[in-house]
A and B are shown apart, each in its own frame.
Chain A
């Protein structure tokens, strides 16, 4: 029984290591900042999640002490990763707007962070390439 759990824990640790190195390598490999934002926020959160689940299983099965700290860390990371990614993307767009180097949005609307908050915006129909703004 312990052997099965050891295999599960080892598999989780190896998967976490692979995800972690892919996330950090993507930071070097990908061509521009918006794509570079994608690699660490997803892959590294999966990596840390794998390590934390492996640690929880390890202490529960092999040491007989169940600890809830790992779940707390996992929940905190899953809550904060999208917020930091959103803020970094916003900072990137605003620092590039001054140099006229923002990438195209793919429709006639501008990026949402530059739009006038006082003007009521209609929801955009995606896929058709047009919007319902009159």
Chain B
């Protein structure tokens, strides 16, 4: 039963990634692209954890944690760049 639920969740997050990709390419402003990238990072974290469940190894949690940290820092850096025109002043 878990296999079917896993397949469903994989499909859902995959379609979500495609939506984010569309929003990155076609967006009214640069802020929407940053938002789409942030959502993309969160979806990829979910996909990594789902893959860890399906292969029954705990190895992918470190990768997910690293993704969460780099995603947060990159979003903050993008926003600082839009706000100030510079990241570290």
Interface residues of A (CB under 8 A from B): 6-7, 9-11, 13-14, 16-18, 20-21, 23-25, 27-28, 33, 36-37, 40, 44-45, 47-48, 51-52, 54-55, 58-59, 63, 65, 67, 69-70, 72-73, 76-77, 80, 83-84, 87-88, 90-92, 94-96
Contacts and interface: CB of A to CB of B under 8 A. Distances in A.
B36 A27 contact: yes
Given A10-B2, A47-B46, A70-B61, A21 B20 contact: no
Contacts of A7: 1
Interface of B: 1-2, 4-6, 8-9, 11-13, 15-17, 19-20, 22-23, 28-32, 34-36, 38-39, 42-43, 45-46, 49-50, 52-53, 56, 58, 61-62, 64-65, 68-69, 72, 75-76, 79-80, 82-83
B2 A20 contact: no
Contacts of A70: 49, 61
Given A20-B43, A84-B38, A88-B79, 13 more contacts: A7-B1, A17-B11, A20-B9, A21-B15, A24-B20, A24-B43, A44-B42, A48-B45, A55-B50, A58-B2, A70-B61, A88-B35, A95-B82
Contacts of B23: 27-28
A83 B79 CA distance: 11
Contact of B28 (A24, A33, A77): A33
Contacts of A16: 9, 46
Given A13-B6, A80-B68, A92-B31, A69 B58 contact: yes
- Is chain B's interface secondary structure helix, strand, loop, or mixed overall? helix
